[in-house]
Amino acid sequence: MNAFAWEVFAANLGWAAATSLAVMLGTFAIALNRGVHRVVDVAWGVAFAAVAVVTFGLSAPQGDPGRRLLVTGLTVVWGLRLAVHIARRGSGHGEDPRYEAMLARARGNRNLYALQMIYLLQGALVWLVSLPVQAAQYTPRPLSALGWAGTAVWAVGLSFEAVGDAQLARFKADPANRGRIMDRGLWRLTRHPNYFGDFCVWWGLFLVACDGGWQAAAVSVASPLVMSVLLINGSGKRLLERHMAGRPGWDAYVARTSAFFPRSPRRHR
C-alpha cells in the first residue's frame, strides 16, 4: 500500500507545532535570563531539527524507513550547523540591531511584545516551513530518483551556506578588511550565498517530499514558496541590503554582482 497516511499526518501536526513552541518558549526563558533576544536566531535551526526528530518517531508505522531517515538526517544536519554558526557569530555581542529596532516600537511590556512578535511568530514559521520534512515521512513508497535529486539540491544549498559563512567569517577576522565589502569567493557570484543556500535547502527537501507522491507535495508546497519570499523579499536579502546601503563600495558591488542567483560578475568599462 503506497497511500499517504492523511489521518496520521493531520493528527500529528499538533505535535510538530507543540515541539516548535516548546523550543521557542525555552529560548524565550534563556533570553530573559541573558537580557538579549538574539538567541532566538540560534533556536531557529534547533527547532527544525527537533520537529524532524519528533516526526521521525511519530511516523514509524506509516512511512518508508529510508525516506524518514534521509529527510530527518538532512534537516538535523542543516539545522544544527546553522545553530552552531549563529551561536559562534553572536558570542560576546549585545542585542541584534533588528530586535532593538523592533522592540523600540513596543507599547507596554517589551518582553511580552518580543514573545508575541519574535518567538511565537518564528515558532509558527518553523511549523509551516517544516511541512515537507513532516509530509515526507508519512508515505510508504520507497525512495526513487526524485528523492536523491532533492538530496543533491539540498547538498548544493548546504555547501553555499557553509562555505559562504566560512569565507565571510575569515574576511571579517582580518583587521585589514575593516570597512570593506566582502566580494571574494562565493560572494563574487551572489551578494547572498547563504540565503541562496537556504533557498536550495528547502526546495531540495520539498523534492524529497514530492518523491513520496502528489499528496505529500500538495500539503507541503507552501513551505519553499514562503521561504523563498522571506529570503528574497522579506527578512533576508531586502532587509540586509537596506542596512548595507550607503557603505563605501556597496553600489559598485551591487552593479557587478548578482542579487541572489549565482552568476559571473558583470564587467564594466
pLDDT reported for residue 2:
61
Report field, pTM of the whole predicted structure over 0.85 = yes
Q: What would the grid cell of residue 45 be?
A: 535551526
Residue among 239, 154, 157, 240 at smallest CA distance from 204: 154
Q: Compute CA distances 164 → 152, 161, 171, whole Å.
A: 18, 5, 11
Inter-residue contact 204 to 161 (CB < 8 Å)? no
pLDDT reported for residue 13:
95
pLDDT reported for residue 1:
47
pLDDT reported for residue 29:
96
Rounded to whole angstroms, the Cα distance separating 96 from 86 reads 12
pLDDT reported for residue 61:
86
The mean pLDDT values, 10 residues at a time, for the chain of 269 residues are 81 96 97 91 96 96 93 98 93 80 84 92 96 94 95 98 95 90 94 95 97 92 95 82 82 91 82
pLDDT reported for residue 152:
98
